[in-house]
């Protein structure tokens, strides 16, 4: 399995607890609170409900904050307690984790180029189509890239500013990803990018040793 989203990896290997169903009404209220008072307000709410969960979720990660608060309020339990009690880890496999650790400036350069390519490859047109079809409150428009494209469409920024904002947002997200994966146990870290021949060769040699 290959990916950059730590929760997906953890869900596969450690399992997820059977949490309560989503409450759209509660989510809308919490999003309104975020608009009014900022994401730090949600983080403080979660800290009162489940301090351990709040310590693991970044104060700017609104979707995860909303879900954690939703779980605590709907189940009347701490999310971390449910997490520990209800998981079913993956069985029948030997797990070997390989992690990529490129030089930070090279990583950021790639991120910056990718953000530029997104805008030049039709992100604004796609965002406008989503806006016309579903309205401004559709969830994808809150995600990286789309959010900055929406600001451009509204006239709140020009293209250069929107690209800079998207680049910064993606770099911040990459930092959070690295922080998450550094907490993963038993990772064999490879210095470089996955498309580099030397990294690929080293990865294959490490895998062969596991066989």
pLDDT tens digits, residue range 115-134? 999 999 999 999 999 999 99
Q: What would you report as the CA-atom Rg of the chain, rounded to the nearest whole angstrom? A: 20
Cα dihedral angle (124, 129, 131, 134), rounded to 10 degrees?
Answer: -150
The pLDDT of residue 86 is: 65
Band the pLDDT of 7: cuts 50, 70, 90: confident
Q: Does 9 reside within a domain?
A: no
Of the chain, the percentage scoring pLDDT greater than 90 comes to 64
Q: State the total domains in the chain.
A: 2
Quick one: 70 and 101 in the same domain? no
Instruction: Note if the pTM is more than 0.75.
Output: no
What are the structure tokens assigned to 162, written together? Answer: 């929107």
Please write down the long-range contacts of 198-203, taking CB distance under 8 Å and 24 or more positions apart. Answer: 199/100, 203/98
**pLDDT score of 142 more than 80:** yes
The pLDDT of residue 22 is: 83
Q: How many CA atoms lie within 13 A of 150 on its CB side?
A: 16
Mean pLDDT of the chain: 91
What are the structure tokens assigned to 32, written together? Answer: 């309104």
The pLDDT of residue 77 is: 87
Round to whole Å and give the CA distance between 73 and 94. Answer: 37
Quick one: 197 and 123 in the same domain? yes
Round to whole Å and give the CA distance between 57 and 74. Answer: 19
Q: Does 8 reside within a domain?
A: no
The pLDDT of residue 136 is: 81
86, 106, 126: which is the final residue of a domain? 86
- Mean pLDDT over residues 151-169, rounded? 96
Token pair 């909303």 is found at 66
Band the pLDDT of 211: cuts 50, 70, 90: confident
41, 65, 86: which is the final residue of a domain? 86
- Mean pLDDT over residues 43-69, rounded? 92
- Tell me which residue range forms the domain holding 122: 97-210
Residue-wise DSSP of 151-183: HHHHTSS-HHHHHHHHHHHHHHHHHHHHHHHHT
């Amino acid at each position: 399995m290959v990916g950059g989203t730590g929760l997906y990896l953890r869900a596969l290997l450690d399992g997820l607890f059977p949490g309560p169903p989503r409450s759209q009404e509660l989510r809308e209220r919490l999003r309104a609170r975020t608009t009014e008072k900022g994401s730090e307000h949600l983080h403080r709410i979660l800290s009162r409900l489940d301090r351990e969960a709040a310590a693991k979720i970044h104060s700017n990660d609104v979707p995860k904050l909303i879900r954690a608060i939703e779980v605590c309020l709907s189940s009347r339990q701490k999310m971390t307690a449910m997490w520990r009690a209800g998981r079913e880890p993956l069985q029948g496999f030997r797990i070997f984790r390989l992690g990529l650790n490129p030089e930070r400036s090279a990583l950021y350069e790639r991120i910056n180029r990718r953000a530029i390519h997104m805008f030049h490859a039709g992100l604004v047109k796609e965002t406008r189509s989503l806006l016309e079809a579903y309205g401004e409150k559709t969830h994808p428009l809150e995600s990286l890239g789309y959010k900055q494209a929406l600001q451009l469409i509204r006239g709140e920024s020009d293209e250069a500013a929107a690209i800079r904002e998207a680049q910064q947002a993606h770099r911040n997200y990459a930092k959070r990803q690295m922080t998450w994966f550094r907490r993963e146990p038993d990772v064999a870290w490879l210095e470089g990018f996955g498309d580099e021949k030397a990294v690929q060769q080293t990865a294959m040699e490490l895998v062969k040793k596991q066989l």
